[in-house]
Amino acid sequence: VLFKKFDEGRNDFEGEITEDAIRTFIGGNRLPLVIEFTQESAAKIFGGEVKNHILLFFKKEGNEDVLKGYADASAEFKGKILFIYLDTANEENARIMEFFGLKEEEVPAVRLITLQEDMTKYKPTKQGIDTATIKEFAQDFLDGKLKAHLMSEEIADDWDAKPVKVL
């Protein structure tokens, strides 16, 4: 039994008691289903067993319904994808938005990153941050249906105006 002060409050281990099984059980249940990214939570987030992170970028104040829908989407991906949110009203999160290539006018938005050997970023194929869209995005990632999102600069208007083409 694992007792905690968040989510369901208690998790019961089922299965054969082995060191690996217990480590996996604790690793999958030690963090809340949805966690806010802060300087304090960063170590827990990056030091955890789950290396697939889905991030919701939004203004937290006055959008509790968005957070509730995000939490509803997270339950079925427990132990597979860590659901994190960033309050874009917090100036400290501007660097993270920049890292994902997000502009203020694109928020609210969702992105996914894998923290394996290389950091691969994914962008949803559909717009929206409702529960169904987030679930579909997460499931498409797990099913290997998504292509990595690579950032690039905007193409200049005069890219083909000279003998040498610049893209």
How confident is the model over 134-156, as pLDDT tens digits?
999 999 999 988 877 665 556 67
One DSSP character per residue, 93-120 reads GHHHHHHTT--GGG-SEEEEEEESSSEE
pLDDT of residue 155: 67
pTM of the predicted model as reported, rounded to 2 decimal places:
0.74
Other CB atoms within 10 A of residue 67 CB: 15
**Spans of the chain, pLDDT less than 50:** none
The two tokens of residue 104 are 């203020």
The two tokens of residue 126 are 């559909």
Backbone angles phi, psi at 3, to 5 degrees: -95, 140
pLDDT of residue 150: 60
Contacting residues for 104 by C-beta, under 8 A, at least 6 apart? 88, 97
pLDDT of residue 152: 56
Nearest to 28 by CA among 73, 82, 79: 79
What's the rounded Cα separation, in Å, for the pair 23 and 121? 27
pLDDT of residue 56: 92
Tell me the C-alpha to C-alpha distance, in Å, between residue 17 and each of 20, 22, 49: 8, 7, 19
In the chain, how long is the greatest CA-to-CA distance?
A: 70
